[in-house]
């Protein structure tokens, strides 16, 4: 009998908990954020940001984690006005003009005056949350005398070999195409012809390239100036170093935006505001290994402060990037396929 | 339905519920594919520019060429290897080698690439060995060679797994007769094995050809540059980079046409062979006993095993070294449970659907409707020749505004991974059902055994092993899924593959290597368990 009543009360209690928790879950408004999956992985900024944001918002922050920025934009275009997203996070300035053209992006309505970026930020739709410089990262154990400029890398003999990414499938790959265009203008095809003999292979994404690089396939890879900070902070190693070139390094700025017509406009606004708060920004360096968009003072690890910074920051406007992306990628295919 | 002249099948048995469900499922699959293409085509695209015909032509040429070469090399290697394995039915490590053959199926592409590079790359085992031996030689992996090595590494084991049951299905009577006639190794090959290969190879060739035709990351990463662009890359470019849905759909249709055309051509080259009614005795092959034959066989087996295991060995080495940087036990455990759960659910779905479609196809074949049978077989293989990206985009395009796919993510992942695994189920079950039909259809018709009764008493005992293999193979494939789970992007549904990609994307290459090792070990155990539990003990 005692067992029976015990079982009964257990069932009753658990039923109460289930009902109560589902009621609670329904009470809380849900903020859906579309992003890319390395952002929400346990090594990315996602989990810490979610926890910090949910403390104050009395809401449920839900991620939808897609493959990458391009997948994100494609999903938005597919879903159009029916999208479940309240916020989209993880586009970069190469994609923002196209995202804007969908008519799905609402003005951020956020105060961005405190931001500290190498460029002035006056976009009224997109809020930047981190940024970095593309750079060639080299293995100092294999390469004693790395090229000192982009020109030296391009004009040099067959060595050193580099691994780059395909601009059609990867953000850094597209970044390099823009970079060479910014430096060499219409002479970019000639520059690519000079670079071609040094290219060991062109990978689908950053992960393949970086994996092959650390496996020792080539002494140089296209990555970010901030990559060495990871090896210093986590692996305590100075082996990998990034090159800054006197011609300047091309930038990547990652952004977030609100979706027009979302049922949670206030929540979305407060999320964007939170994203550029010191609390969120201090999570960025050691998770995404990019620079924060705020001066977070002592919260920026010393390994980041010690990183080399290029004299010149190169970045095309979103409009120029959108207009030329196709033509320049075709040009790249032609010059590298020859 | 047309009455068969050769086998007197009662009408009632001809249209059993099983067969009808099989037709229905195939119709649903085919209908979905048509709907996806129609939606994407209707969605329109970049109207101001004409499709880049020259570019597409170049890409198509390269895609066909590398897929053709990969298929031919994989099959040419698989034939002697499988023959040697069939002739030498007992040696230590044989079962392990066969089970290792399931591993490349579950291996995420990027992991397979790292494994191949660790052996054949500029600082891989080969380069190291050459250096140690004082030979001034550098392997040149990147280019067509790299693509072919990786494709053979991925597909040779699959070919062996699918081909070996055929070699084992030669009835004991044949061997007795061959022995009586004093047939030598060459005669056996010509008279027994070549007809067998003519029957079995087409189906296997189609699977490998399609897998290589739709390759993406392997071609880009190991191909050395944009000259190694495949049609799948062009589809990606159209759908993602340019968001030109119409061009993407047209390229995907082109892919379907070439894959289906290839399948049709290969099928025509194949020949139906009925092994006939036998006592189903178990016999060992008497050839391959001579010392010279043994030497040759073991030479082939060792060569193949080295080729297959070296990259796996490299992954194990890296995985063990990376254990110190492994993900937390909690997240590994959770990802493992999700991988196993989704794998088993996807595998069960694929096997059930595959069995029904294969039954329906067999019914058509038995009643002489060859074209219908081929159409059913092709429909079941849609997951192979329709780009997963196209399927994914089509589903979201169709559902948006009416169905909240994010809420039913688990069901969506299971169904989609089942569609992807279905071709492999059919690859295993179709030949098995053909043999079973040839052996038992007349008997069952005479006894009036149909439906569930027939399944329990006749089909299950004979088909148990192939069903187990199909289930094991499809479960392992669904377990290693990345495409379906990444499509829905549910934050609580992270399997081992996705965990691994998360680590790779966050510089955690050592941790990713350890996750890969766990994934491979788990896949091996999973495969082994399913084959053993469902399939029962080996006959010999």
Q: Is residue B1 assigned to a domain? A: no
Residues B486 and B351 in one domain: yes
Q: Is residue B170 assigned to a domain? A: yes
- Cβ count within 10 A of residue B308: 21
Q: Is residue B5 assigned to a domain? A: no
Q: Are B60 and B253 within 8 A, CB to CB?
A: no
pLDDT (0 to 100) of residue B11: 43
Residues B539 and B417 in one domain: yes
pLDDT (0 to 100) of residue A19: 46
Residues A58 and A77 in one domain: yes
Name the token pair of B484. Answer: 């379906």
pLDDT (0 to 100) of residue A76: 94
Alpha helices (runs of H) in chain A, residue ranges in sequence order:
2-27, 37-40, 46-57, 69-79, 96-101, 150-155, 171-184, 188-195, 206-214, 227-235, 265-275, 278-281, 285-288, 302-305, 318-337
Nearest CA in chain B to A290: B506
Residues B91 and B111 in one domain: yes
Out of B225, B241, B486, whose CB is closest to A336? B225
Residues B145 and B31 in one domain: no
Instruction: Report the predicted TM-score, pTM, of the whole model to 2 decimal places.
Output: 0.89
pLDDT (0 to 100) of residue B442: 84
Residues A287 and A202 in one domain: no
Q: Is residue A8 assigned to a domain? A: no
pLDDT (0 to 100) of residue B335: 96
pLDDT digits (tens, 9 = 90+) for B490-529: 988 999 999 999 999 999 999 999 999 999 999 999 998 9
Instruction: Average the pLDDT over A24-30 and give the result.
Output: 72
pLDDT (0 to 100) of residue B400: 83
Q: Compute the nearest-CA separation of B237 from chain A (Å).
A: 6
pLDDT (0 to 100) of residue B5: 42
Judge whether residue B279 has pLDDT over 60: no
pLDDT (0 to 100) of residue B171: 76
What range does the domain containing A173 cover?
133-251+312-337
pLDDT (0 to 100) of residue A10: 47
β-partners of residue A259 are A105
ipTM: 0.89
Query: Per-residue confidence at A159, pLDDT binned at 50, 70, 90?
Result: confident
Partners of B231 on chain A (C-beta within 8 Å) are: none
Instruction: Average the pLDDT over A112-134 and give the result.
Output: 95
Instruction: Average the pLDDT over B116-145 and give the result.
Output: 91
Judge whether residue A338 has pLDDT over 80: no
Out of A70, A78, A337, whose CB is closest to B226? A337
Residues B255 and B404 in one domain: no
Q: Above pLDDT 70, what percent of chain A?
A: 92
Query: Per-residue confidence at B282, pLDDT binned at 50, 70, 90?
Result: low
Pairing of strands A199-203, A162-165: parallel
Put residue B225 in one of left, alpha, beta given phi > 0 → left and psi -120 to 50 → alpha. Answer: left
Judge whether residue B259 has pLDDT over 60: yes
Pairwise CA distance, residues A119 & B182, whole Å: 86
**Closest to A45 (Cα-Cα) out of A302, A327, A307, A293:** A293
Residues B342 and B270 in one domain: no
Query: Per-residue confidence at B177, pLDDT binned at 50, 70, 90?
Result: confident
Q: Compute the nearest-CA separation of B141 from chain A (Å).
A: 10
Residues A90 and A153 in one domain: no
Residues A242 and A146 in one domain: yes
Residues A209 and A332 in one domain: yes
Give the domain-ending residue among B294, B319, B344: B319
Q: Is residue B478 assigned to a domain? A: yes
pLDDT (0 to 100) of residue B13: 47
Out of A40, A202, A231, whose CB is closest to B226? A202
| CATH code assigned at A67 | 3.40.190.10
Pairwise CA distance, residues A254 & A72, whole Å: 13
Is the omega angle on the peptide bond into residue A160 within 30 degrees of 0, that is, cis? yes
Residues B292 and B383 in one domain: no
Judge whether residue A8 has pLDDT over 60: no
Residues B274 and B374 in one domain: no
Q: Among all chains, which residue has been given the structure tokens 């027994």?
A: B192
pLDDT digits (tens, 9 = 90+) for A238-264: 999 999 999 999 999 999 999 999 999
Pairing of strands A127-139, A240-243: antiparallel
Residues B217 and B358 in one domain: no
Pairwise CA distance, residues B147 & B155, whole Å: 12
Nearest CA in chain A to B315: A215
Q: Above pLDDT 70, what percent of chain B?
A: 92
Judge whether residue B367 has pLDDT over 80: yes
| CATH code assigned at B379 | 1.10.3720.10
Give the domain-ending residue among B268, B290, B319: B319
Residues A63 and A79 in one domain: yes
Residues B312 and B387 in one domain: no
Partners of B224 on chain A (C-beta within 8 Å) are: 199-202
Pairwise CA distance, residues A137 & A219, whole Å: 8
* Lowest-pLDDT choice from A12-21, A223-232, B392-401: A12-21
Put residue A216 in one of left, alpha, beta given phi > 0 → left and psi -120 to 50 → alpha. Answer: left
**Closest to B67 (Cα-Cα) out of B198, B215, B264, B204:** B215
Q: Among all chains, which residue has been given the structure tokens 């002494």?
A: A219
Residues A207 and A137 in one domain: yes
Q: Compute the nearest-CA separation of A1 from chain B (Å).
A: 37
Q: Is residue A301 assigned to a domain? A: yes
Pairwise CA distance, residues B215 & A191, whole Å: 30
Residues A186 and A331 in one domain: yes
Residues B169 and B29 in one domain: no
| Contact: B505, A206; criterion CB under 8 Å | yes
pLDDT digits (tens, 9 = 90+) for B2-46: 444 444 444 444 467 788 888 999 999 999 889 889 988 888 665
Q: Are B440 and B401 within 8 A, CB to CB?
A: no
Q: How many domains are contained in chain B?
A: 2
Instruction: Average the pLDDT over B207-229 and give the result.
Output: 90
Give the domain-ending residue among B299, B319, B339: B319
pLDDT digits (tens, 9 = 90+) for A46-105: 999 999 999 988 899 999 999 999 999 999 999 999 999 999 999 999 999 999 999 999
**Closest to B455 (Cα-Cα) out of B440, B473, B470:** B440
Out of A43, A200, A337, whose CB is closest to B142? A200
Q: Is residue A18 assigned to a domain? A: no
Q: What is the mean pLDDT of chain B?
A: 87
Cα angle B98, B100, B103 (rounded to 5 degrees) comes to: 130
Q: Is residue A1 assigned to a domain? A: no
Torsion sign over Cα B488, B492, B495, B501: positive
What range does the domain containing B496 cover?
14-44+326-540
Q: What distances in angstroms separate CA B255 from CA A84, A327, B259, B492, one per listed residue?
A: 32, 25, 6, 34
Residues A81 and A220 in one domain: no
Residues A174 and A241 in one domain: yes
Judge whether residue B427 has pLDDT over 50: yes
Instruction: Average the pLDDT over B244-249 and give the result.
Output: 90
Helix (H) or strand (E) holding A13: helix A2-27
Residues B297 and B394 in one domain: no
Q: Is residue B6 assigned to a domain? A: no
Residues A126 and A271 in one domain: yes
Residues A269 and A219 in one domain: no
Pairwise CA distance, residues B235 & B220, whole Å: 14
């Amino acid at each position: 009998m005692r067992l029976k009543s015990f079982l009964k009360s257990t069932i009753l209690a658990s039923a109460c908990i289930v009902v109560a928790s589902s009621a609670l879950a329904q009470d809380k408004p849900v903020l859906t954020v579309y992003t890319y999956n390395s952002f929400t992985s346990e090594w990315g900024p996602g989990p810490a940001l979610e926890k910090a944001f949910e403390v104050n918002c009395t809401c449920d922050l839900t991620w939808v984690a897609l493959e990458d920025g391009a997948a994100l934009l494609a999903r938005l275009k597919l879903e159009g006005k029916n999208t479940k997203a309240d916020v989209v996070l993880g586009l970069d300035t190469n994609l923002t003009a196209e995202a804007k053209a969908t008519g799905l992006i609402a003005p951020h309505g956020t105060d961005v005056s405190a931001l500290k970026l190498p460029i002035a930020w006056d976009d009224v739709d997109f809020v930047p949350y981190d940024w970095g410089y593309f750079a060639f990262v080299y293995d100092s154990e294999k390469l004693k005398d790395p090229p000192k400029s982009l020109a030296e890398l391009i004009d040099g003999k067959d060595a050193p070999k580099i691994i780059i990414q395909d601009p059609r499938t990867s953000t850094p790959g597209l970044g390099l195409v823009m970079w060479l265009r910014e430096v060499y203008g219409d002479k970019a095809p000639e520059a690519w012809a000079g670079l071609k003999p040094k290219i060991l292979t062109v990978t689908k994404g950053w992960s393949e390239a970086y994996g092959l690089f650390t496996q020792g396939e080539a002494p140089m890879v296209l990555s970010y100036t901030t990559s060495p900070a990871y090896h210093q902070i986590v692996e305590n190693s100075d082996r990998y170093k990034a090159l800054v070139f006197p011609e300047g390094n091309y930038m990547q700025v990652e952004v977030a935006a609100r979706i027009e017509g979302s049922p949670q406009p206030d929540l979305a606004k407060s999320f964007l505001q939170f994203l550029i708060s010191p609390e969120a920004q201090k999570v960025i360096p050691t998770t995404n290994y990019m620079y924060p968009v705020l001066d977070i003072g002592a919260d920026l690890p010393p390994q980041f402060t010690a990183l080399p910074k290029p004299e010149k920051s190169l970045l095309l406007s979103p409009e120029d990037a959108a207009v030329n992306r196709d033509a320049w990628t075709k040009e790249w295919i032609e010059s590298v396929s020859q | 339905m047309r009455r068969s002249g050769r086998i007197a099948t009662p009408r009632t048995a001809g249209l059993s519920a099983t067969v009808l469900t099989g037709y229905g499922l195939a119709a649903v699959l085919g209908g979905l594919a048509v709907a996806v293409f129609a939606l994407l085509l209707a969605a329109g695209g970049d109207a101001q520019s004409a499709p880049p015909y020259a570019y597409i032509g170049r890409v198509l040429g390269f895609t066909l060429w590398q897929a053709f070469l990969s298929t031919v090399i994989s099959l040419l290697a698989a034939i002697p290897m499988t023959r040697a394995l069939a002739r030498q039915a007992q040696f230590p490590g044989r079962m392990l080698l066969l089970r290792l053959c399931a591993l490349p199926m579950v291996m995420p592409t990027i992991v397979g690439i790292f494994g191949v590079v660790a052996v054949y790359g500029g600082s891989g085992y080969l380069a190291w060995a050459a250096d140690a031996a004082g030979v001034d030689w550098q392997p040149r992996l990147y280019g067509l060679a790299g693509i072919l090595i990786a494709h053979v590494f991925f597909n040779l084991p699959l070919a062996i797994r699918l081909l070996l049951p055929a070699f084992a299905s030669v009835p004991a009577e044949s061997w007795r007769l061959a022995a009586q006639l004093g047939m030598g190794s060459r005669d056996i090959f010509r008279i027994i094995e070549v007809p067998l290969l003519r029957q079995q190879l087409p189906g296997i060739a189609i699977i490998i050809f399609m897998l290589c035709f739709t390759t993406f990351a392997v071609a880009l990463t190991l191909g050395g540059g944009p000259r190694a662009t495949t049609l799948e890359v062009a589809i990606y470019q159209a759908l993602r980079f340019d968001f030109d849905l119409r061009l993407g759909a047209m390229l995907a249709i082109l892919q379907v046409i070439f894959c289906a055309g290839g399948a049709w051509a290969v099928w025509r080259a194949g020949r139906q062979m009925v092994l006939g009614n036998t006592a189903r005795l178990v016999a060992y092959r008497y050839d391959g006993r001579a010392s010279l034959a043994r030497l040759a066989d073991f030479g082939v087996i060792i060569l193949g095993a080295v080729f297959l295991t070296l990259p796996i060995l490299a992954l194990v080495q890296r995985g063990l070294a990376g254990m110190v940087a492994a993900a937390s036990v909690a997240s590994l455990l959770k990802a493992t449970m999700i991988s196993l759960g989704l794998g088993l659910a996807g595998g069960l779905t694929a096997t059930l659907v595959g069995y029904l479609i294969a039954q329906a196809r067999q019914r058509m074949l038995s009643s002489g409707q060859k074209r219908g049978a081929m159409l059913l077989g092709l429909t079941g293989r849609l997951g192979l020749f329709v780009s997963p990206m196209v399927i994914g985009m089509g589903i979201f395009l169709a559902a948006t505004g009416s169905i909240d796919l994010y809420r039913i993510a688990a069901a969506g992942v299971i169904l989609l991974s089942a569609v992807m695994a279905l071709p492999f189920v059919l690859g295993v079950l179709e030949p098995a059902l053909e043999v079973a039909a040839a052996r038992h259809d007349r008997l069952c018709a005479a006894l009036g055994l149909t439906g569930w009764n027939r399944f329990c008493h006749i089909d299950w005992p004979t088909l148990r092993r192939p069903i187990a293999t199909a289930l094991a193979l499809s479960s392992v494939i669904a377990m290693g899924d990345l495409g379906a789970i990444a499509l829905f992007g549910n934050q609580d549904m992270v399997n081992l593959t996705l965990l691994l990609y998360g680590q790779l994307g966050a510089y955690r290459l050592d941790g990713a290597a350890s996750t890969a090792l766990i994934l491979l070990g788990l896949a091996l155990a999973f495969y082994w368990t399913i084959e053993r539990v469902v399939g029962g003990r080996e006959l010999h």
